[in-house]
Structure 1
Amino acid sequence: MSYAKRLWALDSPTFTLDSGILMVGATGETTIPMPAYLIEHPKGLVLFDTMLVPDAADDPERVYGPLAEHLGLKYTREQRVDNQIKALGYRLEDVTHVIASHTHFDHSGGLYLFPHAKFYVGEGELRFALWPDPAGAGFFRQADIEATRSFNWVQVGFDHDLFGDGSVVVLHTPGHTPGELSLLVRLKSRNFILTGDTVHLRQALEDEIPMPYDSNTELAIRSIRRLKLLRESADATVWITHDPEDWAEFQHAPYCYE
């Protein structure tokens, strides 16, 4: 078994929103992170998600309109995905692989920064992003996708071992969107499953509760159950992207897991 060398959780902007958006039956307000993750492997540098549009750190209303104020966006220049990659000593051109967990606007804002990279997305995701169901259309910013039309996109409707050594495995976990992906990262010290938006809160994982705006509730619950099984079989820690408890428990860049 081979391993990835290092994993960073890039520091994150936050939204404050109604918890009922994140999980059926939840109440009250929750402040959630929106991180991206950088993984160093001997054969490449992998970015899992790209957070918000970098320019929104300076002028969130210009980029996201009233949504920025409505969701209480907190976002600094230091948290821009490009600035954080550079702060860790890399150039943007060093990123060889970009994995889009899905294409909602809080994950797709920096896609345009990496035209040289190979992109991975779940099967059916790009078409859905450009022509979403009305109930979830507000979660997409189509300008983020349009900017990448000429990029090298690979659509996967299955699990994919990125480097062929079991260290970075793209997991097909549809339901939140048609092409939702998670990521298994094996390090020497521990294994992580990065969830994207396959699940949003710890309670939703343990109790198998979907999000109200999932594109397919049945598939969403099936994928949540799959994460729980993989947690056991891969001896992995599940890192739920938007869960504030996970964000408080685990360490963030410049700290790295090895």
Structure 2
Amino acid sequence: MTDWQVHALKYADRNSRTRAESFIFDDNHDAPHAMDYFIWVLRRGAEVILVDCGYDSEEATRRGRPILRDPRDALAGIGLKAEDITQLIVTHLHYDHAGGLHLFPNATIHLQEAEMAYATGPCMCHDTLKMPFTADHVCEAVKRVFQGRCVFHDGDAEVSEGVTVHCLGGHSRGLQAVRVRTEAGWLCLASDATHFYENVFENKPFPIVVDLQNMLDGFARLHELASDRSLIIPGHDPLVTTLFPQDGPEFCWRLDRGPSGDFNL
């Protein structure tokens, strides 16, 4: 079968952060550490799969975290409409990955059973654990269940030929990474299994974590899922925008051919 094309679309960033927000036990905790926000598009001929859906201007206002562009506008930049999306892999239900579910009314979502149980269970009685979730987003996912437009997965599963999901947990109970067969080999969209290259390559956990062992074990699993370490794509690292070639709009990067030059991380 034909390999998949993979694009990363940047819809937001946060530059007023420090390394303390990205790494546990970091010696240089006061140093600046920026974060980018992406959604990812998989294409093979007429087949399109969206991985995560960002968040909208309403959520941006609620959290005081502005967006650069509506996720729908990001898709329009590569010739897609929100209504075109019928398959949507939700890596986890945190606001910045599932906050745009309502923007894609025709999408069947793919979600880990463990994530729905976590986001609707007793863990949400703890303010620290529920902080990255927004109730309206979780309710939108529940609506998809009752509409018959949610496919639950329990661990490893195939979404389409050449596209698989893998439950790693750690950052969120049912966090899933996405493995995609590409021209460059098996590429792994890690999402928040590793926010930054430094997390996975130096075994440095991210501070928002529900299970630290699962997060650390997940770092090892990412290496197993990708054909090469250069094909592990972190969920929020600005380095993605310098390592991979820009393709089309200024906010779009192509991942499926691998990095532009030598990968020295």
Whether these two folds match at TM > 0.5 is: yes
Do the aligned residues in 2 keep the contact of 1:104 with 1:141 (CA within 8 Å)? yes
Map 1:192-211; keep pairs closer than 5 Å: 192-211=187-206
1-structure distance, mates of 2:247, 2:72:
13
Match of 1:136 in 2: 129
2-structure distance, mates of 1:86, 1:119:
20
Q: Structure 2 vs 1, CA of residues 100 and 35 (structure 1 numbering), >3 Å: closer, same or farther?
A: same
Residue aligned with 1:140, SS = coil
Consecutive unaligned residues in structure 2, runs of 5 or more: 257-265
Match of 1:161 in 2: 158
Task: Note the C-alpha offset of 1:215.
Answer: 0.7
The letter for the 1-side match of 2:127 is P
Instruction: Show CA shifts across 1:21-48 (max 9, x none).
Output: 2221231221100100011134631111
- Report the aligned-residue RMSD: 2.2
Name the structure, 1 or 2, with higher relative contact order (CA <8 Å, separation 6+). 1
The letter for the 2-side match of 1:51 is G
Match of 1:21 in 2: 21
Match of 1:75 in 2: 67
Match of 2:178 in 1: 183
Query: Which residue of 143, 150, 160 maps to 1:150?
Result: 143
Instruction: Show CA shifts across 1:179-231 (max 9, x none).
Output: 10111122224442111100122222112222222111111111111112223
The letter for the 1-side match of 2:39 is A
Q: Structure 2 vs 1, CA of residues 102 and 252 (structure 1 numbering), >3 Å: closer, same or farther?
A: farther
Query: Which residue of 30, 35, 38 maps to 2:38?
Result: 35
Q: Structure 2 vs 1, CA of residues 43 and 122 (structure 1 numbering), >3 Å: closer, same or farther?
A: farther
Q: Structure 2 vs 1, CA of residues 218 and 30 (structure 1 numbering), >3 Å: closer, same or farther?
A: same
Task: Note the C-alpha offset of 1:168.
Answer: 1.4
With normalisation by structure 2, the TM-score equals: 0.82
1:94 aligns with 2:93: no
2-structure distance, mates of 1:50, 1:101:
10
2-structure distance, mates of 1:236, 1:206:
11
With normalisation by structure 1, the TM-score equals: 0.84
Match of 2:109 in 1: 119
Match of 2:53 in 1: 50
Q: Number of matched residues?
A: 241
Task: Note the C-alpha offset of 1:236.
Answer: 6.2
Q: Structure 2 vs 1, CA of residues 86 and 245 (structure 1 numbering), >3 Å: closer, same or farther?
A: closer
Do the aligned residues in 1 keep the contact of 2:186 with 2:226 (CA within 8 Å)? no
**Identity across aligned pairs (percent)?**
19
2-structure distance, mates of 1:91, 1:202:
31
Consecutive unaligned residues in structure 1, runs of 5 or more: none
Residue aligned with 1:30, SS = coil
Do the aligned residues in 2 keep the contact of 1:102 with 1:121 (CA within 8 Å)? yes
Query: Which residue of 215, 219, 224 maps to 1:220?
Result: 215
Query: Which residue of 91, 95, 98 maps to 1:105?
Result: 95
